Amino acid sequence: MKQFFQHIIAEYPISFESLIIWVKLILSTAISYVMGRYASNNPRHKAINQEQLEKVYLPLYKLLFVQDISKLDCQSLIKLSNRMQIILRKHYELVFPQLHQLTEDFHQALLLKQNHQEILRQIKYQVYVDYESLKRKLGYPHINAFELFRRKTLIDKIRTIWGYLFLLYLFPGAFLSAAFSPVTWSSLLFYCIGFCIISYIGVQLGSKSF
């Protein structure tokens, strides 16, 4: 197997000019596809985001943050949970999936008189982040990106940083690698291995809960 790849590398060397042509072709095609999908779906996405904000996350935000719910007794919290359940079930398809599970766990913890404070903290965090993110997407007044990042949990901060690193590696990284090192099958192989490693890390981060 090793000799096979050595033969391929020796017989079909890559020139810098040919690699740039292929990169330009792939990038232009990918960008055209992404921009086309964005242009066609953007009005629909905006409409869905508007519904999410108006019907789900603004009502939930008012329930959780307008009043000091830390002083509510168990019965009052059950009533609060029932009101959240009504909102979520009425607009089930507009809710980010994790919130459904969190509110179910919160309601069960209240009914069984178990410790519910950590679940409530996670619900408030999720609603706050999604509420501010939706306002930013729709152009409403919102906290700045740094403040939102500062308030995120550690795992969400790592996910955000990973997203930027992935984009830097995918686009500028490819050109910098080609510009400052000899373009060979070996360098291309190392770049692809790095891409696979970063992608694997992203998959693992996506499976972690905060």
Closest CA to 9 of 187, 192, 191, 193: 187
- Could you give the CA distance from residue 207 to residue 201 in angstroms, rounded to a whole number? 10
- Could you give the CA distance from residue 130 to residue 150 in angstroms, rounded to a whole number? 15
HEC secondary structure over 116-160: CHHHHHHHHHHHHHHHHHHHHHHCCCCCCHHHHHHHCCHHHHHHH
- Could you give the CA distance from residue 91 to residue 95 in angstroms, rounded to a whole number? 7
Angle at 172 between CA 197 and CA 163, to 5 degrees: 50
Radius of gyration in angstroms for the set of CA atoms belonging to the chain, rounded to a whole number: 24
The interaxial angle of helices 16-51 and 117-138, nearest 10 deg, is 110
pTM: 0.58
Long-range pairs, 21-24, Cβ under 8 A, ≥24: 23/174, 23/175, 23/178
What pLDDT tens digit does each residue of the chain (210 aa) get? 445 444 544 554 555 555 555 555 555 555 554 555 555 457 888 899 999 999 999 999 999 998 888 889 999 999 999 999 999 999 999 998 889 999 999 999 999 999 999 999 999 989 998 998 899 888 887 666 666 566 666 666 666 676 667 666 665 555 555 554 555 556 666 667 777 777 777 766 665 554
Please, are residues 198 and 165 in contact by the beta-carbon 8 Å criterion?
A: yes
- Could you give the CA distance from residue 96 to residue 7 in angstroms, rounded to a whole number? 51
pLDDT at position 182, please? 54
pLDDT at position 50, please? 95
